Amino acid sequence: MTKTTKKDIPKDEPQVVKEARKELKLIGSIRPHRGHSLFKMNKEGVFKVSEEDLEEYYDYSAKRRKKKLIIEEDTIYVSALNKKNATRKFNQMLASNQ
């Protein structure tokens, strides 16, 4: 049985590349106040965060189910009672950043 080396493999032949492990970074955290909802704002407007934007997982240390928000690019999130208050908070955030 002969041993193959890198020199024996032609360069035209595709090689299997290991996929890089997906790294998760903590961008920030937000916990809505009691009675409040999460709202998101992007270029299209202000929207209430739906169940589709949340990912459910089981936390073994707390022994209960938790939900994680799937973050979208170029989107700001805020906790507010209704859409009107969310819009006001977004405007304050944008005014303070300029």
Residue 66 vs residue 25, higher pLDDT: 66
pLDDT in tens, 4-51: 666 665 666 555 555 555 566 667 778 888 999 999 999 999 999 998
Q: Give the start-end residues of each E strand in 34-94.
A: 37-42, 45-48, 54-59, 64-69, 76-80
Is pTM beyond 0.75 here? no
CB 81 within 8 A of CB 38: no
Please give the DSSP secondary-structure letter assigned to residue 20: P
Residue 86: in which H helix or E strand, if any?
helix 83-97
Domain range summary for the chain, segments of one domain joined by +: 37-97
